[in-house]
């Protein structure tokens, strides 16, 4: 397909979901249906043509992302691998000629979320290549870079010493950004994924700058900033201003979420009537980078960190998962006077763009019970806009109720999250915090705050909707670019900064079927399942898991109902996620009782589906099951939620006995300390 033909398709997508006239100075201008060349260098109009107003740079950046994606064939296949060496070998088969397809290191949680949402025709398990990757980071980096060049330009290009930079120049492609990683960090595979899939420069960013929950001090920040700026300056492409060729930075490695940068008062937000900011307050690292000496923004920054399995999942979700359903949970309006941030307006705009809003929980309905009932089978959407207030480990909901991290459920699909809430990402590596819990659950793109940001720090949800409707990347849409809150502050952007929310009704994604089939030694999971089901043996745990991966829910449930009486704990644990997602509570409880040692995820599902129903609890057996299934690090909170119903069914003396029993079983000092505090109440 020609360059111009491809851009006509891309522009058709854009016009299919164009925003109405701008309502605020930060809203994008409406898009047009006229074809355009590559957005960074639109052609000048001819003498008889009327000039088209230039598109805002977020739209241009989104168009570049959409254009590069359109050059690839997407294969209707997911390949599951057992280790990093095999993952690298598979991903480095991607090329513009062969196309691309998701590749995951298989696990029991993130794999299920991704595969069920992607719903591939072919699901392949590939055995290990049987080699180890180099332990030395420099050797690993050299291997990765040579494999990438070979996939794009052939092995001869490697022997000639050509780099991906050379390949891009030969193709006439100006990379939209830099992906920076350390090959000593487990998140490096995410950097490889996003550099290939987005046509970006892959750069090495070594050094110890601190842990994700920490705060970078000024000297360390200056060292990091200088290294990052050097990566841009030495690239050979333009940078240093919004609208330049390089204007995205994706950090794929461990770094502190916050930094101090010895900023002066004029460099920070200055809102009339706002509380004093103090001396050198910590701000979000992803907001502090990509700025010049005057703190004017020169680009946008995203961040991926964590172990390799999760980092790969986050990157693959950004590239391959479609985002066409949105859920809204709005505490504002229930006592907090913040009309611009209430989600009714966002819902109206989304409806105008043809986006499916699966749920809107607002005002007085957005209490703890309303939240628990919404998510008792997982969040029912691809994207969640959530407005609350609170602190690092708690969400203030309507009617004076409070949600805890224990109320954030296992997910049933990958999730992008826009969360207006103070401190949610203060400790993003800790599942005991709101943000850390969401990330652990499978959120792969997240706009949130690392400290108290003041409400005005966030773009209103209506503004975000307008921007993404005009093909601005999701993380880009979550920031302010004019006014006091455009200065360095506390909104954190986690994920791929080039990820789009695709317009409905535009050019649909088309997948190539049958282009990546199981090779020698590989397993076609669908074919293997048919062979197993034709046999005389009852399905084992692996069979149930594969049926669920392939979205064969009716068959999995039918087999379970037939064989549950003779099933073992492994089979019961395998069927639980389906029963949880479908909210089949009675069947879930029956299956859970078969478990000998419930996994943390199984316990999480149990509590997520039972917490909203505790008022209906009338079974001593169910009560005992919950009491035996208190979660690590959450024992006191779980027991506190259970206590009124324990007293109701067993009497007041049972409360103290239950706490004492839990203290004896507690395996961590945190649980024991919190349980002793709870014991003091009885």
**529 is a domain residue:** no
Q: Residue 51: what pLDDT?
A: 53
Q: Residue 18: what pLDDT?
A: 38
CB within 8 Å of 54: residues ≥ 6 apart: 42
Percent of the chain with pLDDT over 70: 90
Whether 495 has a pLDDT exceeding 60, the answer reads: yes
**56 is a domain residue:** no
**pLDDT: is 225 or 38 the higher one?**
225
Q: Residue 682: what pLDDT?
A: 84
Read off the pLDDT band of 652 (50, 70, 90): confident
Least-confidence region, from 10-14, 54-58, 283-287:
10-14
Output the CA angle 485-490-493, nearest 5 degrees: 105
Paired tokens of 268: 């920070």
Question: Which of 173, 188, 217 is at the close of a domain?
Answer: 173
Give me the DSSP letters along 431-468: TTSHHHHHHHHTEEEEEEESS---GGGSPPHHHHHHHH
Using an 8 Å Cβ cutoff, are 446 and 419 in contact?
A: yes
**524 is a domain residue:** no
Q: Residue 336: what pLDDT?
A: 61
β-partners of residue 297 are 291
**658 is a domain residue:** yes
Whether 213 has a pLDDT exceeding 50, the answer reads: yes
Question: Which of 123, 152, 173 is at the close of a domain?
Answer: 173
CA–chain centroid gap for 488, Å, is: 23
CA–chain centroid gap for 668, Å, is: 30
Read off the pLDDT band of 52 (50, 70, 90): low
CB within 8 Å of 644: residues ≥ 6 apart: 614
Look at residue 362 and give its three-state secondary structure: strand
Whether 611 has a pLDDT exceeding 80, the answer reads: yes
**645 is a domain residue:** yes
Distance (Å) of CA 355 to CA 17, 352, 389: 9, 8, 27
Using an 8 Å Cβ cutoff, are 666 and 672 in contact?
A: yes
Q: In what order do the strands lie in the sheet with 77-81?
A: 103-105, 77-81, 122-125, 523-524
Q: How many domains does the chain have?
A: 2
Read off the pLDDT band of 25 (50, 70, 90): very low
Paired tokens of 669: 């000092």
Using an 8 Å Cβ cutoff, are 100 and 94 in contact?
A: yes
**369 is a domain residue:** no
**411 is a domain residue:** no
Q: Residue 506: what pLDDT?
A: 62
Read off the pLDDT band of 612 (50, 70, 90): very high
Q: Report how far residue 185's alpha carbon sits from residue 181's, in angstroms, rounded to the nearest whole number.
A: 7
Look at residues 15, 13, 56, 7 and name the one whose alpha carbon lies nearest to residue 35.
7
- Residue-wise pLDDT for 436-479, tens only, equals 999 999 999 999 999 999 899 999 999 999 999 999 999 999 99
Look at residues 414, 431, 429 and name the one whose alpha carbon lies nearest to residue 474.
414
Using an 8 Å Cβ cutoff, are 286 and 493 in contact?
A: yes
Q: Residue 397: what pLDDT?
A: 94
Q: Residue 12: what pLDDT?
A: 42
- Residue-wise pLDDT for 384-443, tens only, equals 999 999 999 999 999 999 999 999 999 999 999 999 999 999 999 999 899 999 999 999
Question: Which of 173, 189, 218 is at the close of a domain?
Answer: 173
Output the CA angle 379-383-388, nearest 5 degrees: 75
Helix (H) or strand (E) run with residue 61 in it = helix 57-70
Query: Which range of residues forms the domain containing residue 681?
Result: 617-682
- Residue-wise pLDDT for 616-631, tens only, equals 999 999 999 999 999 9
- Residue-wise pLDDT for 237-279, tens only, equals 999 999 999 999 999 999 999 999 998 888 888 877 667 777 7
β-partners of residue 248 are 177, 300
**648 is a domain residue:** yes
Paired tokens of 238: 């333009």
Whether 504 has a pLDDT exceeding 90, the answer reads: no
């Amino acid at each position: 397909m020609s360059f111009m033909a491809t851009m006509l398709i891309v522009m058709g997508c854009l016009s299919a979901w164009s925003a109405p006239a701008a309502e605020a100075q930060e809203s994008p201008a409406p898009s047009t249906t006229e074809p355009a060349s590559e957005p960074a260098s639109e052609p000048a109009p001819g003498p008889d043509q009327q000039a088209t107003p230039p598109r805002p740079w977020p739209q241009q950046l989104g168009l570049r992302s959409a254009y590069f994606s359109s050059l690839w064939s997407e294969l209707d296949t997911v390949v599951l691998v057992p280790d990093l060496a095999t993952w690298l070998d598979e991903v480095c088969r991607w090329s513009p000629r062969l196309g691309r397809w998701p590749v995951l290191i298989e696990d029991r949680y993130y794999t299920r979320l991704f595969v069920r949402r992607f719903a591939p025709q072919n699901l392949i398990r590939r055995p290990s290549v049987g080699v180890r990757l180099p332990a030395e980071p420099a050797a690993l980096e050299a291997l990765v870079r040579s494999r990438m060049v070979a996939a794009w330009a052939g092995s001869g290009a490697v022997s000639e010493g050509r780099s991906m930079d050379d390949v891009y120049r030969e193709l006439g492609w100006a990379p939209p950004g830099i992906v920076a990683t350390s090959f000593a960090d487990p998140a490096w595979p995410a950097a490889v994924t996003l550099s290939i899939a987005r046509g970006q420069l892959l750069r090495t960013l070594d050094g110890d700058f601190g842990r994700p929950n920490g705060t970078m001090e000024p000297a360390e920040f200056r060292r990091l900033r200088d290294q990052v700026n050097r990566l841009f300056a030495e690239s050979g492409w333009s940078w240093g201003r919004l609208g330049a060729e390089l204007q995205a930075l994706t950090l794929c490695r461990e770094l502190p979420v916050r930094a101090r940068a010895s900023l002066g008062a004029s460099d920070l937000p200055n809102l009339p009537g706002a509380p004093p900011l103090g001396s050198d307050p910590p701000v979000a690292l992803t907001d502090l980078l990509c700025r010049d000496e005057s703190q004017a923004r020169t680009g946008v920054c995203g961040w991926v960190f964590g172990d390799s399995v999760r980092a790969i999942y986050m990157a693959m979700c950004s590239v391959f998962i479609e985002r066409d359903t949105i859920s809204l949970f709005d505490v504002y309006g229930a006592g907090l006077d913040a009309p611009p941030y209430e989600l009714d307006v966002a819902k109206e705009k989304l409806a105008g763009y043809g986006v499916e809003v699966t749920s809107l929980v607002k005002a007085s309905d957005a209490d703890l019970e309303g939240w628990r009932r919404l998510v008792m089978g997982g969040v029912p959407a691809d994207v969640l806009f959530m407005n609350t207030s609170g602190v690092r480990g708690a969400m203030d909901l309507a009617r004076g109720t409070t949600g805890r991290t224990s109320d954030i459920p296992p997910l049933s699909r990958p999730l992008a999250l826009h969360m207006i809430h103070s401190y949610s990402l203060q400790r993003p590596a800790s599942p005991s915090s709101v943000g850390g819990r969401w990330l652990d659950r499978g959120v792969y793109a997240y706009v949130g705050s690392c400290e108290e940001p003041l409400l005005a720090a966030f773009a209103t949800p209506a503004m975000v909707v307008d921007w993404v409707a005009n093909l601005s990347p999701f993380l880009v849409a979550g920031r302010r670019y004019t006014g006091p809150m455009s200065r360095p502050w506390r909104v954190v952007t986690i994920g791929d900064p080039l990820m789009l929310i695709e317009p409905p009704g535009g050019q649909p994604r088309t997948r190539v079927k049958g282009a990546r089939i199981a090779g020698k030694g590989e397993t076609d999971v669908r074919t293997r399942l048919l062979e197993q089901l034709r046999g005389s043996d009852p399905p084992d745990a692996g069979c149930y898991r594969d049926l669920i991966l392939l979205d064969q829910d009716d068959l999995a449930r039918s087999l379970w109902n037939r064989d549950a009486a003779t099933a073992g704990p492994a089979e019961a644990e395998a069927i639980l996620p389906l029963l949880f997602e479908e909210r089949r509570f009675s069947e879930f409880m029956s299956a859970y009782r078969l478990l000998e040692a419930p996994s943390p995820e199984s316990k999480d599902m149990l509590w997520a589906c039972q917490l909203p129903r505790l008022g209906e609890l009338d079974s001593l057996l169910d009560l005992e099951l919950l009491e035996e299934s208190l979660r690590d690090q959450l024992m006191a909170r779980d027991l506190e939620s259970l206590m009124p119903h324990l007293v109701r069914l067993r009497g007041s003396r049972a409360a103290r006995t239950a706490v004492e029993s839990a203290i004896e079983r507690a395996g961590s000092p945190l649980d024991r300390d919190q349980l002793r505090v709870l014991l003091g109440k009885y």
